[in-house]
Amino acid sequence: MSNDVTVFGAHAVRHLLVHAPERLRRLQIAGEGHPDLAELARAGGVSVERVGRDALERVTDGAVHQGVVAWVVPTPIRGDEALHELLAGLPDQGPPLFLVLDHIQDPHNLGACLRTADAAGVRAVIIPRDRAVGLTPAVRKVACGAAEWVPLIQVTNLARCLRDLQAAGVWVVGTAGTADTSIYQADLRGPLALVLGSEGEGMRRLTRETCDMLVNIPMVGAVESLNVSVSAGICLYEAVRQRRA
């Protein structure tokens, strides 16, 4: 079980128990808490260990675990080959929606983006392999189970990845506060990759220059920018709205 990953937090563990109990190798619950999770575990054939909260504190290094920690068979780490396989299958599917995140370093932001991406029907979330947060336990917790279902692809060269998307017929739209066109004016109905930059600096220059189009999120208050996970939600659901209209 040395290769297993820990997933903690009631919502994330519940999602796994409901949808993929076979992936759980071990489940620890503090005291007599979470009887609903214990019942789901028994129904799925997963044994439950009742432990003290201090044992969970040691496992999670003091993170907020809500009294439950699971050891789970990890989802495979997907790389450039997975992207090429995904793009090869695009003609046989409907217009895809991708979310590309340029050097997001806050695990809470990545987890929130994964959760929203799952809800919006995103085909895959794409991140660079270097100088960005990966699929950590904190990311899994914030994602509330979405990290186990939405394909997360780590690529070695983000600009080259965007060019591969373009070659496959995907329109690449980046977000920038200085853009002249609003997200609400752009046509987001076809094969689409939405690109958002890091929390502080936004998209890097080469990423920005590779995009087919830049759009902004209208800001009418005193705040100059939004959290990247909030921006992702706005942009993804504008695409969802247009596709359903």
- Collect all residues with Cβ–Cβ distance below 8 Å to 99 and sequence separation of at least 6: 113, 117, 122, 124, 125, 126, 193, 194, 196, 232, 236
Domain identity same for 235 and 162: yes
- 145 lies in the same domain as 56: no
**How many CA atoms are closer than 13 Å to the CA of 209, on its beta-carbon side?**
4
Picking from 23, 41, 72, the residue at the C-terminal end of a domain is: 72
- 144 lies in which domain range? 80-244
Q: Please give the model's pTM, rounded to 2 decimal places.
A: 0.78
The predicted structure's pLDDT at residue 97: 95
25 pLDDT above the threshold of 70 = yes
Cβ neighbors of 241 (< 8 A, separation 6 or more) are: none
- Is 115 strand, coil or helix? helix
CATH number at residue 204: 3.40.1280.10
Report the CATH number that the domain containing residue 27 is assigned in CATH: 3.30.1330.30
pLDDT, tens digit (0-9, with 9 covering 90-100), for 167-206: 999 999 999 988 999 999 999 999 999 999 987 778 999 9
